[in-house]
Amino acid sequence: MSKKHKETIQKQFTKTVEAFAKYAVRDTPEILAEKVEFVKPQATDLVLDVACGPGAFPLALAPRVRFAMGIDLTFEMLRQSRAFQAERQIANAAFVSGEAEQLPFPDGTFNLVTCQCSFHHIPKPELALKEMLRITRPDGRLFLIDTVAPESDAKFELHNKIEKLRDPSHTLSLRLTTYLRMFEEAGVEVTRQGLRRRPRSFNQWMLRAGLEPHHKRYQETRRLLEDSIAGDRAGFSARPQGEDIEIVHNEGMFLLARQAEGWEK
């Protein structure tokens, strides 16, 4: 990753740590619980959550596994994760600093490696996937969650343009077909897949990026989104709701395992 992109990520997530922690951790317990059930954690699991942000996912997994670690490149996010850990008195978790593309662990360290809502920030997601696979035991699992972009070229472009205007650290939301191709190329197979519609408030989504109605970037993003409503040209299924707008993110959840050797198609 370039120094410039790393600094953009760190700046964005240092600025937004409080808002992000509020909406990503405290206000969505039922969605977190759904994701924990989806991954079917085992009491013997050693877990690493990559790009853990404020630690919501590893802290939700910790009571169900042997040990859960989180890694992130934004120091303030790690500080917030440790504060949530202390608040909940969770002993079997730890948070360390590092990058998804260069994970500081030997091969085969973990038997469950997860990454939630972060691949769209990573310029070369195939490198992060390769690293996640390297540190996973041969019989281990990977779990990837992220927003999925529309397949149509025009919608895909506008969708990512809106995302990037809202948050300069956004690189690219990928299409479902891109994910599936990337998994195939990495030698992993999807053992369980879920696609969910996640409706959310536009204003809350903007607050999570540190933007309020008086900010120029809020206004520009809102204008672009409103212009896309007729014909759903950006794939957000946006619907005005009073002063606010309801938008929908399509979220993909992929439980992955190494392809069995000698497996014939």
User: In this complex, which beta carbon is closest to ligand SAM, that of residue 17 or of residue 225?
Assistant: 17
Closest approach of Cβ 240 to ligand SAM, in Å? Answer: 26
User: In this complex, which beta carbon is closest to ligand SAM, that of residue 24 or of residue 142?
Assistant: 24
Closest approach of Cβ 150 to ligand SAM, in Å? Answer: 20
User: In this complex, which beta carbon is closest to ligand SAM, that of residue 95 or of residue 156?
Assistant: 95
Closest approach of Cβ 154 to ligand SAM, in Å? Answer: 25
Closest approach of Cβ 214 to ligand SAM, in Å? Answer: 24
- Return residues touching ligand SAM (CB under 6 A): 1, 9, 13, 24, 51-54, 56, 72-74, 77, 99-101, 116-118, 121-122
User: In this complex, which beta carbon is closest to ligand SAM, that of residue 40 or of residue 124?
Assistant: 124
Closest residue to ligand SAM using C-beta atoms = 53
User: In this complex, which beta carbon is closest to ligand SAM, that of residue 54 or of residue 233?
Assistant: 54
User: In this complex, which beta carbon is closest to ligand SAM, that of residue 121 or of residue 141?
Assistant: 121
**Alpha carbon distance 178, 172 (integer Å):** 11
**Alpha carbon distance 151, 139 (integer Å):** 33
Contact yes or no for 95/70 (Cβ under 8 A): yes
What distance lies between CA 248 and its chain's CA centroid?
A: 16
Beta bridge pairs of residue 93:
68
User: In this complex, which beta carbon is closest to ligand SAM, that of residue 201 or of residue 229?
Assistant: 201
Closest approach of Cβ 117 to ligand SAM, in Å? Answer: 4
Closest approach of Cβ 54 to ligand SAM, in Å? Answer: 6
Closest approach of Cβ 122 to ligand SAM, in Å? Answer: 5
| Closest to 229 in 3D by CA, of 240, 213, 221, 218 | 240
Closest approach of Cβ 50 to ligand SAM, in Å? Answer: 6
User: In this complex, which beta carbon is closest to ligand SAM, that of residue 127 or of residue 229?
Assistant: 127
Which phi and psi angles does 29 have, rounded to 5°?
A: -60, -35
